[in-house]
Chains A and B, each alone.
Chain A
Amino acid sequence: MTGFKVPRYAAMLVMAVFTLYFLTPLWWLFIASGKQDGQVTEGHALLPDNFALGTNLSDLFRYNDGVFLRWLANSVGYTVGAALLGTLLAGMCGYALAKYVFRGRELIFNIVLGGVLVPATALALPLFLMFSKAELANTFWSVFLPSLVNPFGVYLGRIYAAASVPDELLEAARIDGSGEVRSFFTISVRLMAPAFVTIFLFHFVAVWNNFMLPLIMLGNERLFPVTLGLYSWNSQVNQHPELRALVLVGAFVSIVPMVIAFLSLQRFWRSGLGAGSIK
């Protein structure tokens, strides 16, 4: 069967249509965050006119003693901290599961893999009950500590370590008198660098987007991550109409750091995601 030829312009047309689908809402958000007093229906929807982004930004950052900046800082704290430490721990565990033969290895791996299939939201309620018992609910730690655990990272770490760290190299290091832990930090971490970046990025996005845990755990507004903060503003818009402008400009500001992070780290995404689906 000789294939029917798809014209190049048809393919490009499809790509262009989807580009519009993905970008239009973001562009609208940018324009809307510059509308005066949150009057989103005034003026043109997709072109800037009477653009007041600067005023809206300063309103946003000054509202309620700068609570929005506080939320941003919280999000960064929860996310960067948990993702950095969580990645190292998951990577180490995955590495050990790939490179050492020991009793209970497969059992541990299977339990962790089962953990991948347990929805994180199912854990939020019992975690809240446990943290309340320990009188630690509604604290930074009640969101930070559970966010450290990333079973999917262990799975990825194991696959990568098996694929990228040769046993011969570790054997050679052993002969040279290097300890196992030292070999890991001097040799294996470097070989597994793309894996670590991928695990980190997955973890980062998961924690940044996590909604159920902080929603259940936190009552104190000053501890909110930015997603929860925006949600709480948005649900008060009917009582406090002035919040509408802040919700929009806040939503826009909250995605800027993520977009920048994505653009600068995108080459890692591709190489990392590919290896994740080898098995």
Chain B
Amino acid sequence: MKKAILFFVAPFGALFTLFYLIPIGYAIWQSLFTVERTGTFGPATEVFGGLTQYKQVFSDGPFWESIGRVLLFGAVQVPVMLGLALFLALLLDSGLVKGRRFFRLVYFLPYAVPGVVAAIMWGYLYSPNLSPFTEVTSAVDLLSPSLVLWAMANVVTWVYVGYNMLIIYSALLAVPTEIYEAAKIDGAGVFRTAWSIKIPMVMPAIVLTTVFSIIGTLQLLAEPQVFRSFSSAVSSTYTPNLTVLSTASIPNFHLAAAFSVVLALATFVLSFSFLKFTQRKGVQ
């Protein structure tokens, strides 16, 4: 039995250790070093710097601006996207819609489009001189500094609404139908049933999708990276991951590692406390 367990667990365990745990440790280790030069052109030597890099991270204005930016993005985009996903799932499940298979498939289709490709496609649709929708793009510049964040929010929403809808919808299908019978006898209408029965029943699915959305938001990379070629409003430090990338290409790996560690920690804390919060509320 012991051998069998080892056979099942060891391969994954080895890869997980090698490509998950060790890199995390290595990032932390790297972030504790700093490069010192003797004079301006002297040879560079790596010396242990303790928390020097972290001091720099915490005093780095653009980095915290970018954190603020993705938090704002998430605070708006995640509720809108999941609200839409929930609304569409409830509508699909309400019995009012014909052709459910068709709609389910069409709404899910954008999930097949990689973020990079979706961003390129929408970038063309937004660009005033490339877009077929000139009436819109000549009236409002969707790529301007004030709107480009929300233009990207639309790209992310477009890709993920159907995916989240499907997760919630699958949870709805698992609800035993006898519950609805009882509600019907009690005279509950479509809205009442949705609010008092369906939404509480699918709460675990909503929590799951929220956690993944929070993680995804803080990691925002492909969309802003692609949008840099469509809009000058997207700087090289627009999101935390872009900061990591541009710092690494200086190259300043020690500082970039420190950025990575802080970002990972922030993500972990945020998603973990959301999970704990919902658990305390008795959702899960």
Contacts and interface: CB of A to CB of B under 8 A. Distances in A.
A255 B113 contact: yes
A235 B234 CA distance: 14
Nearest to B123: A234
Contacts of B190: 3-6
Interface string A108-136: 10011011011111110111111000000
Interface in B196-240: 202, 204-205, 208, 211, 215, 218-219, 221-222, 225-226, 228-229
The listed residue with most A CB atoms (<10 A of its CB), out of B13, B27, B124, B226, is: B124
A117 B20 CA distance: 12
B204 A279 contact: yes
Interface in A218-238: 227-228, 230-231, 234-235, 237-238
B256 A125 contact: yes
A23 interface: yes
B120 A11 contact: no
Contacts of A254: 114, 117
Interface string B2-35: 1011011101110110111111101100100000
Interface stretch (B36-44, B49-57, B259-267): B259-267
A125 B15 contact: no
Interface stretch (B60-68, B142-150, B164-172): B164-172
B11 A211 contact: no
B215 A277 contact: no
B75 interface: no
B245 A216 contact: yes
A143 to B, nearest CB: 11
Contact of B114 (A208, A237, A261): A208
A22 B158 contact: yes
A145 B109 CA distance: 28
A277 B210 CA distance: 12
Interface string B179-191: 0000000011111
Given A216-B245, A258-B112, A262-B109, A277 B171 contact: yes
Interface residue tally on B, bucketed by range: 35 or more
A25 B204 contact: no
Nearest to A46: B132
B48 interface: no
Interface residues of A, number: 97
A114 B269 CA distance: 11
Contacts of B13: 93, 108
Contacts of A26: 109-110, 113, 121
Contacts of A235: 228-229
Given A118-B268, A149-B20, A6 B109 contact: no
Given A14-B91, A122-B267, A5 B189 contact: yes
The listed residue with most B CB atoms (<10 A of its CB), out of A117, A145, A269, is: A117
Given A45-B133, A145-B19, A216-B248, A22 B219 contact: no
Nearest to B14: A89
A181 B24 contact: no
Contacts of A89: 11-12, 15
A2 interface: yes
Given A119-B219, A273-B167, A2 B187 contact: yes
Q: Mostly helix, strand, loop or mixed at chain A's interface?
A: helix
Interface of B: 1-2, 4-5, 7-9, 11-13, 15-16, 18-24, 26-27, 30, 88, 91, 94, 96-98, 103-117, 120-125, 129-134, 158, 161-162, 166-167, 169-171, 173-174, 187-193, 202, 204-205, 208, 211, 215, 218-219, 221-222, 225-226, 228-229, 241, 244-245, 248, 253, 256-257, 260-261, 263-264, 267-268, 271-272, 284
Interface of A: 1-6, 8, 11-12, 14-15, 18-19, 21-23, 25-26, 28-29, 32, 40-41, 45-46, 89-90, 92-93, 95-97, 100, 102, 108, 111-112, 114-115, 117-123, 125-130, 145-146, 148-149, 151, 154, 179-181, 184, 205, 208-209, 211-212, 215-216, 227-228, 230-231, 234-235, 237-238, 247-248, 251, 254-255, 258-259, 261-263, 266, 269-271, 273-274, 276-279
17 contacts: A1-B192, A18-B88, A23-B109, A92-B11, A96-B5, A100-B4, A108-B9, A112-B16, A117-B271, A122-B267, A127-B19, A130-B26, A209-B115, A209-B222, A227-B114, A251-B120, A258-B113
